[in-house]
Amino acid sequence: MSLLELSGLRAGYGAQDVIRGISLSVAEGEFAALVGPNGHGKTTVLRAISGLLRARGGQILLAGQPLTRLRPDRIVAAGVVHVPQGDLLFPGMSVLDNLRMGACLPAAAAEEKRRLEEVFTLLPKLRDRQGQLASTLSGGERRMVGIGRGLMTGGRILMLDEPSLGLAPIVIDQIYDLVQQLAKSGRTILVVEENAVRIADMADRMYLLDNGEIAWAGTGAGFLSSPEIFATYLGG
């Protein structure tokens, strides 16, 4: 059964629909990727799921529960964790306090200590730097704090918006090693990524968003072996 199910979702800004009736599903424990060129609506899909943008039509279900009319904090409480594009950390706060912000809702607060230990075990560098101000971290470290803060929230699905954005190739590899480790431990993940080839080896399922519509869906391996996809969307 799908954990997250979108059907006929429409969303946009002003008079314009950016997302024009998309359907996709992410099964429990699956690593799904939403790929596509910049500006075609990937971030908008995540914002609609997490309630930061109200859906204009269609349905969003999490384990069968409709999310479309819930407030963003209720959507978090229902189990949706959204790690936004860019870092959006609190620059004047320490690594530790940034991580703790992920556990500020009541349900997560009770789990704060245990989850913090989990995050530090997964990302030992953050344990060493817990007292350091977020503004003094490198780009890769900031990205790790952003993901760590998402893990502090718990939830049932972790949505990551372009975790590779603006990072050097070697740091991108580290970030995706972490994402793969999370996927292998059984977490349900929906990642937005512009570079489809980068993610195709890792993802169980891929959706290609083109101009607000799903142009292709299938496995990562299927994506890599589809010459027409490369010719049409990736320029050969």
Ligand X SMILES: Nc1ncnc2c1ncn2[C@@H]1O[C@H](COP(=O)(O)OP(=O)(O)OP(=O)(O)O)[C@@H](O)[C@H]1O
Q: Which is nearer to ligand X, 150 or 163 (CB)?
A: 163
* Sign for the pseudo-dihedral over CA of 148, 154, 160, 161: negative
In the complex with ligand X, the residue whose CB is nearer, 52 or 178, is 52
Q: Between residues 82 and 115, which has the closer beta carbon with respect to ligand X? A: 82
Q: What is the DSSP letter of 52?
A: S
Strand-strand pairing, 157-161 and 80-83: parallel
Question: Which residues are CB-neighbours of 120 under 8 A, at least 6 positions away?
Answer: 126, 127, 130
Report the nearest approach of ligand X to the CB of residue 88 (Å). Answer: 14
CB of 236 to ligand X, least distance (A): 21
Q: How far is the CB of 11 from ligand X (least distance, A)?
A: 9
Would you say 228 and 208 are in contact if contact means Cβ atoms under 8 Å apart?
Answer: no
Token look-up 């997560």 returns 108
CB of 194 to ligand X, least distance (A): 6
**What's the angle, vertex CA 188, arms to CA 53 and CA 121, rounded to 5?**
110
- Give 18 or 147: the residue with its C-beta nearer to ligand X: 18
Which residue has 């939830």 as its token pair? 155
CB of 93 to ligand X, least distance (A): 26
Residues whose CB is less than 8 angstroms from the CB of residue 96 and which lie 6 or more positions away in sequence, other chains included: 130, 131
Which residues here bind ligand X, judged by CB under 6 A?
13, 18, 36, 38-44, 162, 194
Which is closer to ligand X, CB of 108 or CB of 192? 192
- Min dist CB 44 to ligand X, Å, is 3
CA dist 65 and 4 (Å) reads 9
Q: Which is nearer to ligand X, 63 or 165 (CB)?
A: 165
The rounded distance, in Å, linking the Cα atoms of 76 and 133 is: 26
